[in-house]
Structure 1
C-alpha cells in the first residue's frame, strides 16, 4: 500500500483525535510511525493502527475506516494528476476512477496495487459497482464515496452489500438524489 495512505491516516487521526491519541495508537500497535508518502508498506500495518485506534476510542473498525475514507478523499484528489476538463458529479467521477485515476496511479507508482472497480450498471442517477481488493477495506471505499459526494455537493444514497464474508468483494449501489 502506498505510503501516502499512511501519512494521511496519521495526519487525520492527529487532527480528529489529538496528538496524544495518535501517539498512544502508534505505541499500542508497536509502530514507530515512520512512513513516507512515496514508500510502500504492508496494508496489515494500517489494519493494526486502525484496530489500535478502535480499542482506544471505542469506535468500531468499520466506522473508523469509513471516517478515514471520507476525510482522505479531498486530500487524495488534490494529489491526482490533472483530470480532463469535464464537469463531474459523484457518479461520473466514480466512473472515471478505474479508467483514469487508477491508470495514472499505476503510471506514477508501478508497484501500486489499487482496488478494482467493476461497473455492473449505470444510469443517469444510479451506479452499481463491485469493489474488489485483497485488503478488505470496503468501508474505506464507502467513506471515499461519501467524501466524493460532499466534494461535488451531491446528495446520495448508498447501499453497501458484501459479496464475500471477508469484505474483499463488496457491491455498492450509489444513487444520486434530486431535490
Structure 2
C-alpha cells in the first residue's frame, strides 16, 4: 500500500484526535510513524493503527475507516492533476477508477494490487457495483465514495452489503438523493 495512504491517516489522526492520541496509537504498535508518500508499506500495519485508534477513542474500526476514506479522497484526487475537469459526477468518476486510475497506478507501481470493481447496473440515479480487495478495507471505500460525492457537490446514500464474511467482497448500491 502506498505511503500516501499512511501519511494521510497519520495527519487525520493528529488533526481529529491530537498529537497525544496519535503518539499513543503509534507507540501501541511500536511504529515510528514515518512514511514517505511514494514508499510501499504493508496494509496490515494500517489495520493495526486503526485497531489501536479504535481502542483509544472508543470509535468503531468501521467508522474510523469511513471517516478516513472520506477525508483522504480530496488528497488523492489532488495528487492526480490530470483528473481535474475530466469528470462531472460521482458516477462518472467511480466508473473511471477501474478503467483508468487503477491502470495508471499499476503502470507506475507494477507490484500494486488496487481493489477491483465489477459494475452490476447503473441508471440515472443508482449505481450498483461489487468491490473486491484482499485488504478488506471496504469501509474505507465507503468513505471514499462519500468523499467523491462531496467533491462533486452531490448527495448520495450508500448501501453496503457484504458478499463475503471478511468483507473482501462487498456490494455497494449508491443512490443520488
TM-score scaled to structure 2, two decimals? Answer: 0.96
How far apart, CA to CA, are the structure 2 residues paired with 1:87 and 1:7?
27
Find runs of 4+ consecutive structure 1 residues off by over 3 angstroms.
84-87
Question: What are structure 2's unaligned runs of at least 5 residues?
Answer: none
Q: 2:40 maps to what in 1?
A: 40
Contact residue 81 and residue 104 of structure 1 kept, 8 A: no
Residue 83 of structure 1: how far off its partner (Å):
2.3
Residue 86 of structure 1: how far off its partner (Å):
3.5
Secondary structure, counterpart of 1:96 in structure 2: helix
Please say which of residues 117-126 and 69-78 is displaced more in the overlay. Answer: 117-126
Residue 87 of structure 1: how far off its partner (Å):
4.2
How far apart, CA to CA, are the structure 2 residues paired with 1:161 and 1:46?
23
| Number of residue equivalences | 177
| Cα RMSD for the two superposed structures | 1.2
Tell me the alpha carbon deviations over residues 2-27 of structure 1, each in whole angstroms, 9 at most, x when there is no partner: 11100111011111111111111000
Residue 85 of structure 1: how far off its partner (Å):
4.5
Contact residue 80 and residue 101 of structure 1 kept, 8 A: no
Q: 1:122 maps to what in 2?
A: 122
Residue 106 of structure 1: how far off its partner (Å):
1.4
What does residue range 166-177 of structure 1 map to in structure 2 within 5 Å? 166-177=166-177
